[in-house]
Amino acid sequence: MRFKQLKVWQQACRLSCDIYKLMKECRDWGFRDQITRSGLSIPSNIAEGEERDSPKDQIRFLNIAKSSTAELITQIYIGIEVGYIDKTEGLRQINEAESIAGSLGKLIKTKKSRIGEDTPDYDNQ
């Protein structure tokens, strides 16, 4: 299982666990379900992609994971605004998610260069 060696996967797992703990007391079940799902999607898609044989499949799943970080960041901002998430803690989680997104972007770029795919990915700009 190659994905377990990736620092970005390990970081994403910790973030997902932190989001679950952060939302444990939230009584808005819809919000809690959505934010924990987006957090869970990040390491899950990294793992699924890394276990694919096709580099293009790997890149596709890493892009999904990166998109999930944007979804999570959005939900944290909303959670802060409506009072579900403490601002200091929420901003810490946002910084962590942004770090993960940056690492995923670098990993995607590296994988694309290995397969000679130099064309820009307009879906992720």
Residues 100 and 42: beta-carbon distance below 8 Å: yes
User: 39-59 pLDDT, tens per residue?
Assistant: 999 999 999 999 999 999 999
Buried b / exposed e along 40-62 (16+ C-beta atoms within 10 A): bbbbbbbbbbbeeeeeeebbbbb
For 97-123, what is the mean pLDDT? 85
Number of H helices, E strands in the chain: 4, 0
> pTM for this one?
0.90
The CATH fold of domain 2-116 = de novo design (two linked rop proteins) (1.20.1440)
Between 97 and 118, the more confident residue is 97
Distances, alpha carbon 72 to alpha carbons 19, 51, 97, 108, 111, in Å: 9, 24, 8, 19, 24
- Compute the mean pLDDT over every residue in the chain, rounded to the nearest whole number: 94
